[in-house]
């Protein structure tokens, strides 16, 4: 084995290495804290000066990451910076940057490419570069490899290239960064060995695969599996509703089968950074091979139609009460993409809010996890969360339940709302003022 390879493995295994985390969001922050807690020197990079300042002062802007953890990491030497020239100080550089879709629903790799360009001038022998951002099979080889080798460094000898997809589930108390198994693929056998050493200390169970492409495809399969099954159950919901059947009762009954069935639940659409976005990475790449991913595109179509389905249910409910959508006061309950978190990425609730605003509604929202509507790449609302009380709830023409946070007082809402459009199956007992969506 090449000298720098075994030397780097030793450094990583002995926890003498400096770990550079690029992108300090929902993926990067927990990873930085985990490495810091193990005694590694951690260097965090981000382009957001405010976030860097906050983290350096021991404050986390992510709800489920406690500032006490950040303070402890800073006290033991974790440092965050916007100065990418400091990448030379890191033995490992882990890229945790966003990979959204552009307006044509094609992969937007600008964050990955810009980040890679920022660190390339500062790469040196004896480093490992690991990409964690979800992307199409071939990205590490086609986009990162040429850049990393552009200065004459040889991958697998001088420098090591790894793809290891993030697996975060914000708000899930049953799993932490270290307890979620980690898939790792290397560009060469040496790269894989270094990748295993990098994650082996921080993660309880590392799952090595034979290439970066396999690791990239693994992440897509995980998310496509969810997207397709959610699309199926959303379609079933529409059919069941037309037939006067409660889909949630059906799913609960089916879930009693101890084999061959996994329950998935319908909702107002798909949210989170992964599930609504990642399937289209494969769809886009498959075209290069002359393939048409029909399952993926069909489920995407069904899921993307859900916010409109929910609004359609609201229009009908208002109509039955001799009201129109235009001019109605509507309260949206829960705008994070799933319950009990503050994560707003790709939230279908925001799509519902956009449709309501376009329809002429006076839109408000209530979400205990999102006190002020955040800055988003594609959506703009100048709103703050409404405190719920009997009078406040009764004052709205309708309440649309889009995210079923545990903190909501559902009895209070049911007792005072003129009409509730329930897209999460919270209200199982039929009620006069509840419309299932």
Q: How confident is the prediction for the chain on average, in pLDDT?
A: 94
Instruction: Give CA–CA dist 63/173, Å, rounded.
Output: 13
In order of their start, the domains of the chain are 3-215 (3.40.50.720), 230-437 (3.40.50.720)
250-307, pLDDT tens digit by residue? 999 999 999 999 999 999 998 766 666 778 889 999 999 999 999 888 998 999 999 9
**pTM for this entry:** 0.91
pLDDT reported for residue 274: 65
Q: Quick one: what percent of the chain has pLDDT higher than 90?
A: 85
Res. 1: pLDDT tops 60 = no
The torsion of the CA quartet 10, 12, 15, 19, rounded to 10 degrees, works out to 150
Residue 273 has what pLDDT? 63
Of 2 and 29, the one with more pLDDT: 29
pLDDT of residue 134: 92
Which ranges of 171-211 would DSSP assign to H, the alpha helix?
A: 189-200
Model confidence at 377, pLDDT cuts 50, 70, 90, reads: confident
Closest CA to 399 of 423, 379, 373, 429: 423
Banded model confidence at residue 102, pLDDT cuts 50, 70, 90: confident
Residue 407: predicted pLDDT = 96
Q: Which residues are catalytic?
A: 274
The continuous run of DSSP H or E covering 309 comes out as helix 306-320
Q: Provide the CB-side half-sphere exposure for 264 (13 A, CA).
A: 19
349-to-280, 295, 325, 368, 379 alpha-carbon distances in Å? 21, 25, 17, 14, 11
pLDDT band at 330 (very low <50, low <70, confident <90, very high): very high
Q: How many CB atoms lie within 10 A of CB 237?
A: 26
How confident is the model at residue 172, as a pLDDT? 80
């Amino acid at each position: 084995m090449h000298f720098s390879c075994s030397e780097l493995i030793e450094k990583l295994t002995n926890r003498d290495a400096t770990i550079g985390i690029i992108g300090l969001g929902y993926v990067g922050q927990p990873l930085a804290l985990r490495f810091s807690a193990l005694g590694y020197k951690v260097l965090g990079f981000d382009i957001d000066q405010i976030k860097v300042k906050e983290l350096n002062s021991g404050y986390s802007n992510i709800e489920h990451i406690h500032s006490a953890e950040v303070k402890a990491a800073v006290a033991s030497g974790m440092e965050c910076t916007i100065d990418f020239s400091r990448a030379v100080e890191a033995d490992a550089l882990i890229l945790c940057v966003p990979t959204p879709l552009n307006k044509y629903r094609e992969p937007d790799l600008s964050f990955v490419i810009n980040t890679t360009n920022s660190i390339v001038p500062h790469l040196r022998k004896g480093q490992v570069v690991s990409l964690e951002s979800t992307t199409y099979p071939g990205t590490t080889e086609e986009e990162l490899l040429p850049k990393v080798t552009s200065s004459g460094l040889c991958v697998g000898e001088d420098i090591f290239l790894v793809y290891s997809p993030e697996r975060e589930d914000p708000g899930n108390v049953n799993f932490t960064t270290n307890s979620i198994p980690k898939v790792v693929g290397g560009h060469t056998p040496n790269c894989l060995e270094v990748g295993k050493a990098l994650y082996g200390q921080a993660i309880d169970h590392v799952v090595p695969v034979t290439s970066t492409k396999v690791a990239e495809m693994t992440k897509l399969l995980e998310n496509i599996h969810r997207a397709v099954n959610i699309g199926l159950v959303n379609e079933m919901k529409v059919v069941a509703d037309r037939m006067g059947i409660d889909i949630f009762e059906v799913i609960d009954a089916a879930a009693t089968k101890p084999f061959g069935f996994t329950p998935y639940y319908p909702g107002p659409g798909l949210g989170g950074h992964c599930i609504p976005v990642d399937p289209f990475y494969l769809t886009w790449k498959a075209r290069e091979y002359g393939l048409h991913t029909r399952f993926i595109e069909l489920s995407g179509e069904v899921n993307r139609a859900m916010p409109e389905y929910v609004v359609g249910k609201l229009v009908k409910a208002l109509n039955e009460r001799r009201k129109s959508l235009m001019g109605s006061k509507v309260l949206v309950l829960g705008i994070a993409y799933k319950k009990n978190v503050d994560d707003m990425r790709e939230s279908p609730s925001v799509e519902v809010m956009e449709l309501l605003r376009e329809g002429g509604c006076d839109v408000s929202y209530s979400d205990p996890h999102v006190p002020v509507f955040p800055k988003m790449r594609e959506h703009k609302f100048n709103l703050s969360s409404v405190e719920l009380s009997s009078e406040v709830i009764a004052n709205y023409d309708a309440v649309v339940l889009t995210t079923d946070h545990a903190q909501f007082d559902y009895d209070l809402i049911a007792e005072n709302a003129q009409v509730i459009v329930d897209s999460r199956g919270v209200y199982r007992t039929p009620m006069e003022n509840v419309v299932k969506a």
